[in-house]
């Protein structure tokens, strides 16, 4: 009589030390009563993973399995799980949070105390992510996939939801002129979602002409390369010499934060989405004397369902940004290509 051995290990892409990703066997994770075991089918490489790989963000302390933009198939469920079953196609929020937290109960689970982010390891915690064959997540952060949304498309729900949350936070009056600083993945999704909002004129700024071409494709009315053009003069010419009504900063370094503040009108709103640098120079007097509303936008707070609906209806184009679908075993080389800023390379999805 043969006894089937239960699998106790899995393959994962592990950040063993900074700039050192290793594809190796690791213990298969255990799951609790309120959790499910998901067989990962697709996991996108986020810009925060690429920048975290070298330690510059301070949020990817090795050893760590990164990865938080993922989708897959439920293969095991805890005995307290009620709304999901084996075989369900799912994606999941990147934030793990307590349901009884003060912030969660007020609709701000992204700010909940003791929250954890998949694939992140600051000093306070280590939460392994989805660059692996399997990942464990609690039931309350799961979302069932519409039939028409593929695993690869679902691996891009998270960045669309980050952009959507920033827009949800920001007061945009009908026909407001909106400036997006930085047309990386989040910036490009900001532009797509802004086209579905109250926004009027949409302006995009970046250093990369190829990215600006994509910004135009996704709905930007005007694009400017800050390396070759006078941004302030160009934006004033489009806004009756006032500046943009609303600005989204989607990079997170001193130069782009300064650009955002310089190009918003008096009394306007700047929403900071990017966070590459831990600290930036801040033009305090420009903010105070021009009465600018400055706010941060952190992660996601319930936008997954509406993003999945937008994707199901074909309102959001993620396929045009998908550069490659590759085996997880090749992940290290693709990380390096992204880290080296290979021209034309956008979203890369790893498949265990």
Q: What is the mean pLDDT of the chain?
A: 96
* The model's pTM: 0.95
- pLDDT of the residue at 5: 52
Average pLDDT (278-283) is 91
Domains assigned to the chain: 9-156+318-351 (3.90.180.10), 161-296 (3.40.50.720)
Q: What is the pLDDT of residues 17-64, one digit of tens each?
A: 999 999 999 999 999 999 999 999 999 999 999 999 999 888 999 999
Average pLDDT (290-315) is 97
Give the span between the Cα atoms of 156 and 71, in whole angstroms.
Answer: 9
DSSP-derived 3-state class of residue 269 = strand
Q: What is the pLDDT of residues 55-109, one digit of tens each?
A: 988 899 999 999 999 999 999 999 999 999 999 999 999 999 999 999 999 999 9
Query: Is pLDDT above 80 for 194?
Result: yes
- Rounded to 10 deg, the angle between the 185-194 and 157-169 helix axes is 60
Q: Count CB neighbours of 226 within 10 A.
A: 17
Closest CA to 27 of 7, 5, 3: 7
- pLDDT of the residue at 4: 46
Q: Measuring CA to CA, how many Å separate 334 from each of 10, 47, 55, 188?
A: 21, 12, 18, 21
């Amino acid at each position: 009589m043969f006894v089937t051995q239960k699998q106790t290990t899995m393959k994962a892409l592990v950040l063993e030390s900074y700039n050192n990703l290793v594809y190796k066997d690791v213990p298969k994770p255990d799951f609790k009563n309120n959790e499910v075991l998901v067989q990962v089918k697709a996991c996108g490489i986020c810009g925060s993973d690429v920048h975290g790989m070298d330690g510059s963000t301070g949020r990817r302390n090795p050893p760590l399995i990164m990865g938080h933009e993922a989708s897959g198939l439920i293969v095991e469920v805890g005995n307290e799980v009620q709304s999901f079953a084996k075989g369900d196609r799912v994606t999941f929020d990147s934030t793990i949070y307590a349901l009884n937290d003060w912030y969660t109960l007020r609709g701000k689970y992204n700010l909940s105390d003791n929250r954890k982010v998949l694939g992140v390891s600051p000093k306070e915690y280590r939460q392994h992510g989805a660059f692996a064959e399997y990942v464990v997540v609690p039931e309350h952060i799961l979302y069932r996939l519409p039939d028409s949304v593929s695993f690869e498309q679902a691996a891009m729900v998270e960045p669309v939801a980050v952009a959507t949350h920033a827009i949800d936070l920001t007061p945009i009056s009908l026909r407001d002129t909106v400036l997006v600083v930085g047309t990386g993945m989040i910036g490009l999704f900001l532009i797509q979602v802004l086209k579905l909002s109250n926004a009027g004129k949409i302006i995009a700024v970046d250093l990369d002409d190829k990215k600006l071409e994509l910004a135009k494709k996704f709905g930007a009315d005007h694009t400017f390369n800050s390396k070759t053009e006078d941004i302030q003069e160009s934006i004033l010419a489009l806004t009756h010499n006032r500046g943009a009504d609303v600005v989204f900063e989607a990079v997170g370094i001193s130069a782009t934060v300064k650009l955002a503040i310089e190009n918003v009108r008096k009394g306007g709103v700047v929403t900071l989405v990017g966070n590459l640098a831990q600290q930036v120079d801040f033009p305090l007097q420009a903010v105070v004397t021009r009465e600018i509303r400055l706010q941060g936008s952190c992660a996601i707070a319930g936008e997954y369902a509406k993003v999945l609906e937008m994707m199901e209806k074909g309102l959001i184009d993620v396929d045009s940004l998908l550069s490659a679908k590759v085996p997880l075993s090749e992940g290290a080389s693709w990380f390096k290509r992204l880290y080296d800023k290979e021209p034309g390379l956008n979203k890369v999805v790893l498949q265990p």
